[in-house]
Amino acid sequence: MNQKTARQLVRNFFTTLCIFILFGSIYLFVPKRIKEIDFTILFILLFISSLATYYASLAHKRRIQRIIDFDELTGLMTTKNFIENVEHILKTAKSDEYSIISIDIEKFRYLADALGTDTADAIIKELAKHFKKEAPSDALICRNYTDNFIVLVKATFRPIVEDQVLSLLSVVEKMGNLLPLHYTLDFSIGVYVIMNTNEKVQSMIEKANTARKFGMRSFNPRRVSFYDENMKITTENEKEIIFDMNRAFEENEFIAYYQPKFRFQDAQIIGAEALVRWNHKTKGILPPSAFVPLFERNGFIQKIDLLVFESVCKFLDKWNKSAPEDKTAPAITISCNLSRMQLYNPDVAKEYAEIASKYQIAPSKIEIELTESLMMDNKERLLKAMNEIKKVGFEISVDDFGSGFSSLGLLKDIPANVIKLDKSFLGSESEREHIIIKSVITMAKDLDLKTVAEGIEDKEQAELLKNMGCDIAQGYLYSKPIPEKDFENLLHKALD
């Protein structure tokens, strides 16, 4: 007998004794008439009422247990219950026998904002009902959080797991009239194949979630992404960058490099594109590919864009003041990249114009590069931002033109001054491709747009583009992106 049980027994004994003394005393004082009442009935009543109290408390306990074990909205398991059940199953499972699947509705937060909480709840409920019906009979499902479902399936072979996922998600049309007309739900799906059954289930769920998030980054038509260890390394690297970014910003490690641009006609330098670099204290100079995509996801890119823009203004100010008293410095135009995040800032044009005026820079000497792919994202927002930026006087260029699908349609709508032909566009040697490039350049001219060819690496490409009538050249053939000081020296040498 353990200590706790012994204590419980002593407590019960004293409680019974107290009740006995209490009833005994009452019995001694009650009048004789009452003593004649049939105590058998009284005891039966007492027994029934204690039995009822006992079952009521049992039901209450069960209700509480159900709340702990099952999600109130969907009736699916809670994560805690799911983990316990998976642990139990894996005790006797082999490696490479089960997979954990993580399913998430894309942009659910926006959907919930637009449709309201009740409809969002109804969608989740409907989805859970469908999952329960479509999942294999030996699968376990839980709702991990808002719109994140975790499923354990007894399958690891990719095509089989993918088929199971697809049947789970054959749901869109079954959402009834909960969704607006023509609206379909998009899902992101990550799969972790369980090789080590002793691993913590929570860590398995995290890995399925990591795979899911990676799948969202790439264009993956089936949207099912399987976990691999490289994802973990990338995630660790990204965490390291996130922990380090504020320090690096404070310590001025983000700097602007400049890639010169040249006029085709007379090979004269006319300006540059400013491109960010991370001058990391231990890792050295890092290219944008190492951090820009991550900063675009976590929003930090807005600070970087502003910093690069302000560096450009400072540089232009310095350049303008570099000429002797009686002369004006030759005019140059510098372009800055603007990330998609900025389009959601309604004051972006105003903020940029204020910085330019702080350094007394004419906005027409700065070109804002907006990538063509933004058009696929949110055409209205892009056009609105472009118009506002143009209104305050900046030049606008469409970056990476030809890399997406929207290029030609884009030309008739946008208020741009410049289009930058994407480097992938220039790579091909085929006659057909050349015809397309020539037509784009001609069309741009007719629309009064300047053309820049970026990524020119050899003389043949340069000659071809020059003959086609392209205006400006940018590429490794002329110069790689270089530090500010080197660019300044280059300008002095070329323009003095």
> In 293-327, which positions are buried (b, 16+ CB within 10 angstroms) versus exposed (e)?
ebbeeeebbbebbbbbbbbbbbbbeebbeeeeeee
Sequence-separated contacts (24+) of 431-437 with Cβ below 8 Å: 434/464, 434/468, 437/465, 437/468
Binders of Mg ion in range 314-343 (CB under 5 A): 337
Residues contributing to the site for ligand C2E (CB under 6 A): 259, 275-276, 287-289, 292, 301, 304-305, 308, 337, 339, 369, 399-400, 423, 454-457, 474-476, 481
Give the strand pairing for 254-263 and 472-474.
antiparallel
Least Å from the CB of residue 494 to Mg ion: 22
Q: Which residues contact 460 (CB under 8 A, 6 or more apart)?
A: none
Q: Which does 339 bind (CB under 5 to 8 A by kind): ligand C2E, Mg ion, none?
A: ligand C2E
Confirm or reject binding of residue 367 to Mg ion (CB under 5 A).
no
Least Å from the CB of residue 301 to ligand C2E: 5
> 169 vs 437, which CB is nearer to ligand C2E?
437
> 149 vs 258, which CB is nearer to ligand C2E?
258
Q: Which does 455 bind (CB under 5 to 8 A by kind): Mg ion, ligand C2E, none?
A: ligand C2E
Least Å from the CB of residue 420 to Mg ion: 5
> 149 vs 258, which CB is nearer to Mg ion?
258
Least Å from the CB of residue 370 to Mg ion: 9
Greatest distance between any 2 Cα atoms in the chain: 126
Binders of Mg ion in range 369-398 (CB under 5 A): 369
CA-CA distance, 379 to 31, in Å (whole number)?
92
Least Å from the CB of residue 273 to Mg ion: 6
Token reading at 406? 């929207």
Least Å from the CB of residue 111 to ligand C2E: 28
> 147 vs 305, which CB is nearer to Mg ion?
305
CA-CA distance, 190 to 213, in Å (whole number)?
7
- Chain centre distance of CA 91: 35
> 253 vs 399, which CB is nearer to Mg ion?
399
446 by Cβ neighbours in 10 Å (0-12 / 13-18 / 19+) ranks as exposed
Per CB under 5 A, residues contacting Mg ion are 337, 369, 399-400
